[in-house]
Amino acid sequence: MRIAIDAMGGDHAPAEIVKGAVQAAAEWKDTVIVLVGHRERLEPHLDGQMDANLEIRHASEQIGPDEEPVRAVRRKKDSSMVVAGKMVREGEADAMISAGNTGALMTTGLLVVGRIEGIERPGLAPMLPTADNQGMLALDLGANMDAKPEHLLQYALMGSIYRSSVHGIAKPRVGLLNVGTEAAKGNELTKAAYELLEQAPIHFVGNVESRDVLQRACDVLVCDGFAGNILLKAMEGTASMVMGALKEEFTRNWRTKLAAAIMMPGLRGLRAKMDYKEHGGAPLLGVNGLVIKGHGSSDARAVKNAVRQARIALQGQLIRSIKAEISGK
Amino acid sequence: MRIAIDAMGGDHAPAEIVKGAVQAAAEWKDTVIVLVGHRERLEPHLDGQMDANLEIRHASEQIGPDEEPVRAVRRKKDSSMVVAGKMVREGEADAMISAGNTGALMTTGLLVVGRIEGIERPGLAPMLPTADNQGMLALDLGANMDAKPEHLLQYALMGSIYRSSVHGIAKPRVGLLNVGTEAAKGNELTKAAYELLEQAPIHFVGNVESRDVLQRACDVLVCDGFAGNILLKAMEGTASMVMGALKEEFTRNWRTKLAAAIMMPGLRGLRAKMDYKEHGGAPLLGVNGLVIKGHGSSDARAVKNAVRQARIALQGQLIRSIKAEISGK
């Protein structure tokens, strides 16, 4: 299999991206890694370590983190991200990975790679942290701000297939993000979606409140992109504030510093638990090829983990399964 | 002034409610406290301590925490909550306080007390916790699931008036809960509301992301009831999970227990910081009288604090100011 990596996207590009790609190529000899980016800027980081299964595809441009997505994708046809997208569309790569501009990557998925027939709106599906470290797949997290009930149904189907084919969960529990657990709760969108989800060929466990996400009330959480963003950032902000306040308490005097030294290993584990970057890249589900969004701050390890994730999804025939499910409707 | 208290609503009713009312009557001699509820069930808790400014208004029924709100309010016309609402409507009380069924209280506000002319949807406005302990007023938190842009504008106006008249903030910063800080971000609702808020006679500071709530990015946060509920419960759930995990780390062995003993005062402060119940009751803004929702777990101190809050709002002519602002549109 061939995996294209946008070598110019992310806070630590290209150095860490190249490093992760080199590690992935060394680990999986059956996989060809194609680094897409400016050849002259990539080669110094390679240091002559070109394995037979590591290639460079030159792309003269790159899309910056603050560029307006649609315009950037339309104009920069030779950017590393768009070129990687074209490779997936043309069958030159089986998957693409990028830690670059999220909006631009969603646009690349939509306009360059293209949607799966029957899918109206692709959804971005990161893993949210849970207390037991198992994580919860949530979609949509920001691609589709004004979702319709039918979109939420498609998210449920795609998320369910992803969790069984990539994570091996036999019967993923699908929950609907809502303001209460009773069936009649919610706004017009969730009330209508509830009825569709009840009829769908999934293991629907009903409404899930945002306070129960960390308790892993389900394996796949379905929501519109607006509510999903509010949820994710509220969790991030609260965890980071509590950890910050804790740090302040621990550095107050020599006695609290002693306490901090004792507690350090446990606190590190807690911080890692709350870090959703630990859970790998987020697939953009519903596009006609495997597109994985790495976190903007991805380092070499994160890039290698995204390759691992892509390999599992490809081996599990993820896209083919989604197509079969959707066209079977 | 006269303040009616629903003595039968809340997890600790009637004992703690009566206790709080007794304390309030003792503290503020210029205020008549009317305990509304079943006389025979209230009297044992009074223990003969009837101050001259403490009265009982008998109501034979009560609305339970799990009753369907609209049906309960319509049928139980002699429930403590509905009777308190009628007293406000008839001018027999200047304000009402209840720690009972939230949905029923919003319904009582809407159907019994009635809306202010020109207000389409009243909004429930609790204080969210912030890292600096100042808190942020957020509305709507659950009364109006499918808000229109005009509703959000009214929330902004009412929230702004509340913060200046009750909390003495000269120029409250009003923010719009959204998925990014740029003006063009969001769903159809927030994009349209943004334009209205820019034109409004308030100090609008633009979009606020959910991760910046704890940093007190504004003094009044405007949102629809669905998004507000997702935000609040995500913050609650995350804080409670982190504190729970911390407790687990601290009880691991004798060394961590020693660390816990050292850290105890600081941790108590942190827990209090994250507890939005500390910030008093939530006004239901937009109804034609002062209606304050106490937290379901309100104890005597919370009840007394709600009375304090009601007194300040009444002294500040809150309802009159809101009417002037809205009818001036």
Residues A257-269: tens digit of each pLDDT = 888 888 888 888 8
Contact B119, B36 (CB under 8 A): no
pLDDT of residue A276: 61
- Determine, for residues A145 and B186 on separate chains, whether the beta-carbon distance falls below 8 Å: yes
Residue in chain A nearest B262 by alpha carbon: A256
- Which of helix, strand or coil describes residue A310? helix
> Best interface-test mutation with A: which of B211, B218, B274 has the largest number of A CBs within 10 A?
B211
How many residues can be counted in chain B?
329
Residues of A in contact with B255 (CB under 8 A): 262
Q: B48: which DSSP letter?
A: T
pLDDT of residue A277: 61
Query: B87, B4, B70, B96: which is closest to B284 by C-alpha?
Result: B96
> Best interface-test mutation with B: which of A242, A258, A271 has the largest number of B CBs within 10 A?
A242
Residues of B in contact with A227 (CB under 8 A): 226-227, 230
How many residue pairs bridge chain A and chain B with CB atoms within 8 Å of each other? 162
Residues of B in contact with A245 (CB under 8 A): 131, 270, 273
Residues of A in contact with B266 (CB under 8 A): 249, 252, 256
- Which of helix, strand or coil describes residue B285? strand
Q: What does pLDDT average to over chain A?
A: 93
d(CA B158, CA B230): 22
Return the ∠ at Cα B296 (arms to B129 and B74), rounded to 5°: 125
Q: Which of A237, A245, A263 sits opposite B259 (nearest CB)?
A: A263
Residues of B in contact with A142 (CB under 8 A): 179
- Which of helix, strand or coil describes residue B201? coil
d(CA B181, CA B175): 10
| β-bridge mates for residue A58, sequence order | A37
Q: Which of B224, B234, B270 sits opposite A246 (nearest CB)?
A: B270
| β-bridge mates for residue B293, sequence order | B98, B282
Residues of chain B scoring pLDDT < 50: 329
Residues B177-221: tens digit of each pLDDT = 999 998 889 999 999 999 999 999 999 999 999 999 999 999 999
The H or E element that residue A283 is part of is strand A282-285
CATH 3.40.718.10 placement within chain B: 1-121+279-329, 127-276
Q: End-to-end alpha-carbon separation of chain B, Å?
A: 30
Q: Which of B190, B235, B260 sits opposite A238 (nearest CB)?
A: B235
Calculate how close chain A gets to B286, using CA atoms only, in Å.
21
pLDDT of residue B280: 75
Exposure of A269 in the CB half-sphere (CA atoms within 13 A): 11
Q: Are strands B95-98 and B2-6 parallel, antiparallel or unpaired?
A: parallel
- Which of helix, strand or coil describes residue A207? strand
Q: Which of A142, A210, A244 sits opposite B234 (nearest CB)?
A: A210
- Determine, for residues B187 and A224 on separate chains, whether the beta-carbon distance falls below 8 Å: yes
Residues of A in contact with B142 (CB under 8 A): 179
Calculate how close chain A gets to B185, using CA atoms only, in Å.
9
pLDDT of residue B248: 86
- Determine, for residues B262 and A263 on separate chains, whether the beta-carbon distance falls below 8 Å: no
Calculate how close chain A gets to B68, using CA atoms only, in Å.
11
- Determine, for residues B230 and A234 on separate chains, whether the beta-carbon distance falls below 8 Å: yes
- Which of helix, strand or coil describes residue A49? coil
Residues of A in contact with B233 (CB under 8 A): 179, 209-211
Q: Which of B227, B237, B273 sits opposite A227 (nearest CB)?
A: B227
pLDDT of residue B247: 87
Residue in chain B nearest A178 by alpha carbon: B230
Q: B44: which DSSP letter?
A: H
pTM of the model: 0.92
Question: Hey, what CATH topology would domain B127-276 get?
Answer: Isopropylmalate Dehydrogenase (3.40.718)
* Edge-to-edge strands, sheet with B220-222: B127-128, B136-139, B220-222, B173-177, B203-208
Rounded to the nearest 10°, the torsion over CA A29, A34, A35, A37 is 170
Q: Which of A210, A258, A262 sits opposite B230 (nearest CB)?
A: A210
Sort B196 into a burial class: Cβ within 10 Å, 0-12 / 13-18 / 19+: middle
Residues of A in contact with B239 (CB under 8 A): 238, 242
Residue A114 falls in which region: left (phi positive, over 0), alpha (psi -120 to 50) or beta? left
pLDDT of residue A125: 95
- Determine, for residues B262 and A259 on separate chains, whether the beta-carbon distance falls below 8 Å: yes
Q: Which of B146, B210, B250 sits opposite A230 (nearest CB)?
A: B210
pLDDT truncated to tens, each residue of chain A (329 aa)?
A: 999 999 999 999 999 999 999 999 999 999 999 999 999 999 999 977 678 899 999 999 999 999 999 999 999 999 999 999 999 999 999 999 999 999 999 999 999 999 999 998 999 999 998 988 899 999 999 778 999 999 999 999 999 999 999 999 999 999 999 999 988 899 999 999 999 999 999 999 999 999 999 999 999 999 999 999 999 999 999 998 888 888 888 888 898 888 888 888 888 888 777 776 666 799 999 999 999 999 988 999 999 999 999 999 999 999 999 999 987 65
Sort B199 into a burial class: Cβ within 10 Å, 0-12 / 13-18 / 19+: exposed
Question: Hey, what CATH topology would domain B1-121+279-329 get?
Answer: Isopropylmalate Dehydrogenase (3.40.718)
Sort B265 into a burial class: Cβ within 10 Å, 0-12 / 13-18 / 19+: exposed
Residue in chain B nearest A237 by alpha carbon: B211
Q: Which of B186, B235, B238 sits opposite A226 (nearest CB)?
A: B186
- Determine, for residues B255 and A249 on separate chains, whether the beta-carbon distance falls below 8 Å: no
- Determine, for residues A259 and B259 on separate chains, whether the beta-carbon distance falls below 8 Å: yes
Site of tokens 């600790």: B12
pLDDT of residue B50: 79
Q: Are strands A282-285 and A123-124 parallel, antiparallel or unpaired?
A: antiparallel
